[in-house]
Copies of this chain bind each other. A is one copy, B any other.
Amino acid sequence: MSDLERYTVTMPRDLLQSFDARNARKGYRNRSEAIRDLIRAALVQDEWTRPGERVAATMTLVYDHHTRALADKITELQHEFNEQVASTLHIHLDHHNCLEVIVLRGKAGQVRALADALASLKGVKHAQLALTTEGRLLS
């Protein structure tokens, strides 16, 4: 963590009161932390607009493991893109449905391409890509 800086922010009282009320509802104990979180979320959104930037992401898939050859194809894709796939977690939701979370790292463009390839597999019922960061830019 780099050195801390302190600076002053000016804000209408009403706005500050609304923000403090929102922070209390969300469980923030500290206004600075809530502001830092908004800033970091905006920076991560920016990272993802640059295809060559290194990012992290998690891909969540829900699928029926009875679908023929699907689990094999998901595994094959992960091996093909092994440099981008960091790790995988698997949950048995019920007799039919599995939830699999795949942690991805790499350039934003590559990560999106792998995510598209996973989402378009036949038998994947729902796919959701959560965009996050490797954390270097966010001290």
Residues of A participating in the B interface, judged by any CB pair closer than 8 Å: 1-16, 18-19, 22-23, 25-44, 46, 56, 58, 60, 62, 64, 66, 86-89, 91, 93-94, 96-97, 99, 101, 103, 105, 116-117, 119-122, 124-139
Q: How many copies of this chain?
A: 4
Most B CB contacts (10 A, CB to CB) among A29, A62, A64 go to A62
Q: Across the interface, name the chain B residue whose C-beta is closest to A131.
A: B128
Instruction: Assess whether A30 is in contact with B122, with CB atoms less than 8 Å apart.
Output: yes
A14 touches which of B31, B66, B105, B139 (Cβ 8 Å): B139
Identify which of B2, B9, B97 contacts A9 (C-beta below 8 A): B9
Specify the chain B residue showing the minimal Cβ separation from A66: B1
Contact A3 B7 (CB under 8 A): no
Chain B residues, CB < 8 A from A11: 4-7, 32, 35-36, 39
B residues less than 8 Å from A23 (CB atoms): 120
Q: Are A103 and B89 in contact (CB under 8 A)?
A: yes
B29 touches A138 (CB 8 A): no
Q: Which of A10, A15, A32, A96 has the most CB of B within 10 A?
A: A15
CA distance A124 to B26 in the complex (A): 14
Report how far A48 CA is from B43 CA in the complex, Å.
20
Besides A91-B103, A99-B135, 10 other CB < 8 A contacts? A2-B15, A4-B11, A7-B16, A8-B8, A11-B36, A27-B117, A37-B124, A89-B89, A94-B136, A125-B135
